[in-house]
Amino acid sequence: TYPIDDYYLSYYRGYEAGILGEQNPDDRLRRKDLVLGVTGDEGQIAYNYLDLLEAEVVNHEFEDTPIVAAIDREGGGAAIFRRTLDGEVLEFESIDTMSMLDTTSNSTWDKVSGLAVSGPLSGKRLDPYPYIISFWFAWTDFYPDTDLYEPPRGDG
């Protein structure tokens, strides 16, 4: 007999789509790659979890809204926030596993809660932007025309 924790282990470890299958195959990612999916009035975009782990912070714009996707590499928590605060668009960079710096005000922010923990904007909070964490195959089943965020790649 298997302990209760092992029932779904093979599902998460394998790359098969599972009982319901895959309706809209899309080979831009592997089936079970995790994505943070965002929907809007005109379309959708998915951010590959593995790309976020590498970049830690992604400044982007979706449907004319400046957003930032951030991930805590150590704990694995991820979030997406609006980058506009009090009418100003902020630019972020990762400074450690849990914190990001907005280079506009020189404030430090928690990547998962969106709270400014030090600097001139200390105590302010970024507005969360709605997203879904999903397997790639499930996301593309619902949103077959989705865009996939492509991180900038170095020249070599």
Domain locations in the chain as residue ranges: 4-85+125-148
Cβ atoms of 108 and 119 within 8 Å: the answer is: yes
pLDDT of 3 > 90? The answer is: no
pLDDT of 138 > 70? The answer is: yes
Strand (E) positions, the chain?
A: 34-39, 44-48, 57-62, 65-71, 78-82, 84-85, 88-89, 92-94, 99-102, 107-110, 116-118, 132-135, 147-148
Percent of the chain exceeding pLDDT 70 equals 84
* Segment 27-75, tens digit of pLDDT: 899 998 999 999 999 999 999 999 999 999 999 999 999 999 999 988 8
- Give the global pTM: 0.85
